[in-house]
Homo-oligomer: A and B are copies of this chain.
């Protein structure tokens, strides 16, 4: 029973809106470029090489949990990780991001996309999950990109500012678009189910760039496929989290979907989200740029978020976007400890 005794399940409880002793904390991109140990590793290995080496990848994933005392780990990988399995030739280039040599241009290109067999194609991901479950004393989150965001890279050939080509494709080649959404949804579902089977205890779906669409287009071109994904994953009985940047105008649509936790970026105060009818658990949403400010500014802004978040059960403290490379690990450590202590004290007063 010693393993169960030491296991910290506060994050899972918060996802389910159950009572917790203190507010659980994790940070998007907590593992990676902001950590000196990771930057050392990157001198030897590429991102792809790290994800393909389960022991190394488990080390990278676990490091920030040990260092910051965070309440959840998130598997280190990229939203591009499963795409080679379906025929996408993607390389992650330092300082640029994913670059795809065979972008999607036509329905023929979409038809040519294959299917994923996770046990064969991403065995290294599943192996890393198994290793981590033997090591971690906090829940392990895994994740997948969502079809719109994956499609944006596949159509643009890389990162984009305005997603013009993606939207042009969507408006002009509807049949190809919906086929692409459907194929990416199937991939996501298989990929996520295999990760849950391997031991992932929560899943975050990153539709990072879908905020580029207005609500009407989201409802027409994206929401149906998101409904399919969450419906098929719902049976797996692990918390499902949704996140995207600049997607405040889509949050009520996310709330309609059969998922558990709504991630908010830093521009959507928790108070307003709840006033607008978000009754699910919420995750967020300190602007990561604040972590470059003096500590008194960080503390003040974190306090506001915790105060609002704690007004209802179901709150996970996180950033409103990923940790960026210049953020100091010592700051993240201090922040975790502040959130734990401040919320525990508040919680004990409320009891």
Contact with B along A295-316 (1 / 0, CB 8 A): 0010000000000000000000
Given A172-B294, A214-B266, A266-B214, check contact A289 B326 (CB 8 Å): no
Distance between Cα atoms of A321 and B167 in the complex (Å): 14
Find out whether the CB atom of B287 lies under 8 angstroms from the CB atom of A214. Answer: yes
Given A249-B248, A289-B163, A324-B162, check contact A269 B171 (CB 8 Å): no
Please indicate the chain B residues that have their CB under 8 angstroms from the CB of A288 in the complex: 162, 164
Contact with B along A191-216 (1 / 0, CB 8 A): 00000000000000000000101111
Quick check: is A292 within 8 A (CB to CB) of the other chain? yes
Find out whether the CB atom of A164 lies under 8 angstroms from the CB atom of B249. Answer: no
Which residue of the partner chain, among B164, B217, B269, B293, contacts A326 with CB atoms under 8 Å?
Answer: B164
Find out whether the CB atom of A293 lies under 8 angstroms from the CB atom of B172. Answer: yes
When all copies of this chain in the complex are counted, the total is 2
Question: Residues of A within 8 Å of B, CB-based: how many?
Answer: 32
Find out whether the CB atom of A171 lies under 8 angstroms from the CB atom of B266. Answer: no
Find out whether the CB atom of B168 lies under 8 angstroms from the CB atom of A292. Answer: yes
Nearest-neighbour CB distance to chain B for A177, whole angstroms, equals: 11
Distance between Cα atoms of A214 and B269 in the complex (Å): 8
Find out whether the CB atom of B214 lies under 8 angstroms from the CB atom of A164. Answer: no
Quick check: is A38 within 8 A (CB to CB) of the other chain? no
Find out whether the CB atom of B249 lies under 8 angstroms from the CB atom of A289. Answer: no
Instruction: With CB as the reference atom, state the residue of chain B lying closest to A159.
Output: B161
Find out whether the CB atom of B215 lies under 8 angstroms from the CB atom of A164. Answer: no
Please indicate the chain B residues that have their CB under 8 angstroms from the CB of A167 in the complex: 287, 289-290, 292
Distance between Cα atoms of A161 and B167 in the complex (Å): 19
Nearest-neighbour CB distance to chain B for A183, whole angstroms, equals: 22
Q: Which residues of A contact B (CB under 8 A)?
A: 161-164, 167-168, 171-172, 211, 213-217, 246, 248-249, 266-269, 287-290, 292-294, 297, 321, 324, 326
A-B contact pairs, 15 of them (CB 8 A): A161-B161, A162-B288, A162-B289, A162-B321, A162-B324, A164-B289, A164-B292, A167-B289, A168-B326, A171-B290, A171-B292, A214-B267, A214-B287, A246-B246, A248-B248
